[in-house]
Chain A
Amino acid sequence: MGKTLAEKIWTEHIVSSKAGEPDLLYIDLHLIHEVTSPQAFDGLRLANRKVRRPELTIATEDHNVPTLNIDKPIADPVSKLQVDTLRKNCAEFGVRIHSLGDVEQGIVHVVGPQLGITQPGMTIVCGDSHTSTHGAFGALAFGIGTSEVEHVLATQTLPLLRPKTMAINVEGTLKPGVTSKDIILAVIAKIGTGGGQGYILEYRGSAIRALSMEARMTICNMSIEAGARAGLIAPDQTTFDYVKTKPHAPAGADWDAALTYWKTLSTDADAKFDKEINLNADELAPFVTWGTNPGQGLPLSGSVPNPADLSNAEDRGAAERALEYMDLKPGTPLKSIKVDTVFLGSCTNGRIEDLRSAADILKGKKIASTLRLLVVPGSARVRLQAEAEGLDKVFLDAGAEWRSAGCSMCLGMNPDQLKPGERAASTSNRNFEGRQGKGGRTHLVSPLVAAATAIKGTLASPADL
């Protein structure tokens, strides 16, 4: 029997395999940031160990950095210490780092692909659950905890139990105004936040193949929101063309060898997935979440559900709690919900195509006087590219704030936070209670819905303008 793509990559990275033990997998690339690494470096120091392969490791500052006044010292002393600690650790252990103010600085999952160090067939890890983003290149990429960060630093390997595989088949054609964000929100609503637990997801089908690399990254990024540690897409010409222009793409004979190998990276026709899920792209519409987990989503044309209609007691309880936290009444049309803040950014939707698509909607228009729109590019490069295209002007003319790169309001660790009771439409990935600031309420949306909402003041799609 043939192998799935995930099984192929897994098998090729096995260093050691014994019955009754996890496989020991080799890690091709380790991405590091300031929040989940300090304790790992401490562990190395305590055990008098070094970083085994500094040249397979790279660090950037993203989670806990300001997006304003980045030329000045970080104001919060605790945040400053955390960032300084990363710089000190990278210097001590010989790890490449892109710090605030560096042209390659940005969200770790935006930086990897734009440098071209994210390539098909690799194993990629990072102390961040959205590492699944890199799966868009046909790589096996997943988030790890700090103990595992230390393990990879010390040995360039990880012991792992092999997950099962699940196919997410999306056939058909997306309607105008429907994006890859809507695909993944629909997938999560269908299988639930625990649906992917124990699986590697493979997104397949004509609707997936038609997507750009950046749109594919949005989908793979949110695999973890369905409970899956990793999600991937078989590489194709779209992937090869994207990688080829990047600084760390293989060159000369290496490119030819790489391409030959990459072309073998697809699921065999006779391979069997442990589970399959089907979605019809023709039927998808702009999606929005109404609750406090990413599985609590509906088409934007819908209304806030009534928990009483849910048959499962756990889902009912969760929905009741969510509506109380979100201050929403059953039956309320989603499009009537007023928003205070729109956040455009994050490793989910902070890339140049995301900014372009939002700018297209905002061009020549003003945002509603009742809200603020925060535009945070995913990386310093994305910011520069947007400025070269005049997108910053479009955002500023519309009344938005144009910030420097970082995770920002996606996780509300830096000063970019919602105030208690504030409601956001956000292109990020998590609508958990207080995720974007204590007491803040989050509706997850695509960049198109974010832009339209910013203009209208209530949740809206471009078609509603």
Chain B
Amino acid sequence: MEKFVKHTGSALPLRRSNVDTDQIIPAVYLKRITKNGFEDGLFAAWRNDPAFELNQPQYKSATVLVVGPDFGTGSSREHAVWALQNYGFKVVLSSRFADIFRGNSQKMGLLTVILPQDEIEKIWKKVESAPDTKITVDLEAKTVSYDTTSTSFSIDDYTRWRLMEGLDDIGLTFTKIDEVAKFEEKRVSFKPKTLPIR
């Protein structure tokens, strides 16, 4: 996983709530067996509409997605995170994220930042009137800033440390693998096994 410390980029304002994972990437795009190439499926249904924000030239180089509440609801498909990253997004700002989507994004190093809805509204207005506004998301300082405005956000220290170091969880868990083995010794015999087949 790439380290995330600080990112500065232009933003895509998406004034929609409840953007579910089927909107982020519809199921028919989930057939690939790799983690790349999903950018074609990103917001696939909406991209047919020339007025859709992603199709507007002023937002073409956006790397920060600014979206309404309950982003990423629905399916557990990590493809939603891959599609956003494959397309070039580094950060998503919203007032509420679905739990599984947020977990997936934190595994992949796509930073999901929770800001109050009135802050999201301010950023929408700013970016809509000045699309080349650069937004800086600083994970170390836990701030989102543009022009002279700076807003703090919170994130648990452990996830922040892991993202800033670019560490993957599996490697970290292997440092505790002896504890896993000890736990397994104490597991009760009546817990089901899938093998042998009964």
Binding site for B on A (CB under 8 A): 15-16, 20-22, 24, 26, 28-29, 35-36, 38-39, 42-43, 47, 49, 52, 54-58, 63-64, 76, 78-79, 81-82, 85, 96, 116-117, 119, 122, 127-129, 131, 142-148, 150-151, 154-157, 159, 161, 163, 193-194, 197-198, 224, 227-229, 247-248, 250, 254-255, 257-258, 261, 292-293, 314, 317-318, 321, 411-413, 430, 432-435, 438-439
Contacts and interface: CB of A to CB of B under 8 A. Distances in A.
Contact of A432 (B23, B28, B76, B190): B23
Given A26-B183, A147-B169, A433-B45, A64 B31 contact: yes
Contact of B192 (A117, A227, A229): A117
A453 B108 CA distance: 44
Interface string B18-56: 101011001110111111000000000100000000000
Contact of B76 (A143, A254, A439): A143
Nearest to B22: A432
Interface string B97-115: 1111001100110000000
B193 A56 contact: yes
B170 A155 contact: yes
A145 B107 contact: yes
8 contacts: A35-B31, A55-B194, A116-B192, A127-B76, A129-B74, A129-B76, A146-B35, A163-B99
Contacts of A20: 157-158
Interface stretch (B2-10, B130-138, B146-154, B174-182): B174-182
Contacts of B77: 35-36, 145
B122 interface: no
Contacts of A116: 192
B119 interface: no
Contacts of B99: 163, 197-198, 227-229
Nearest to B183: A15
A145 B194 contact: no
The 6 lowest CB-CB distance pairs between A and B, nearest first, are A145-B104, A147-B107, A145-B78, A38-B33, A143-B76, A254-B190
B14 to A, nearest CB: 12
B20 A430 contact: yes
A24 B190 contact: no
B194 A24 contact: no
B195 A157 contact: no
Interface of B: 15-18, 20, 22-23, 26-28, 30-35, 45, 68-70, 73-79, 81, 96-100, 103-104, 107-108, 117, 156-158, 168-170, 172-174, 176-177, 179-180, 183-184, 187-195, 197-198
A261 B76 CA distance: 31
A439 B26 CA distance: 12
A314 B118 CA distance: 12
B73 A128 contact: no
A261 B104 contact: no
Contacts of B98: 194, 197, 227
Given A16-B176, A35-B31, A147-B169, 4 more contacts: A56-B193, A143-B75, A143-B76, A318-B18
A91 B190 CA distance: 27
B100 A145 contact: yes
Contacts of A76: 31
A433 B78 contact: no
A36 B20 CA distance: 17
B170 A146 contact: no
Given A129-B100, A161-B156, A255-B190, A227 B70 contact: yes
Contacts of A28: 191-192
A145 B20 contact: no
Given A145-B100, A227-B99, A258-B190, A411 B27 contact: yes
A36 B197 contact: no
A419 B151 CA distance: 45
A157 B192 contact: no
A111 B165 CA distance: 40
A124 B108 CA distance: 23
B179 A413 contact: no
A403 to B, nearest CB: 18
B191 to A, nearest CB: 6
Contact of B26 (A38, A255, A438): A438
Contacts of B34: 38-39, 42
A36 B73 contact: no
A81 B187 CA distance: 38
Contacts of A317: 15-17
A82 B30 CA distance: 10
Given A145-B77, A155-B180, A197 B96 contact: yes
Contacts of A148: 103-104, 107
B194 A57 contact: yes
Nearest to A15: B183
B45 A26 contact: no
A241 to B, nearest CB: 17
B187 to A, nearest CB: 8
A119 B194 CA distance: 12
Contacts of B177: 155
Given A16-B176, A85-B33, A227-B99, A435 B22 contact: yes
A250 B193 CA distance: 10
Contact of A434 (B16, B45, B68, B189): B45
A157 B76 CA distance: 18
B23 A433 contact: yes
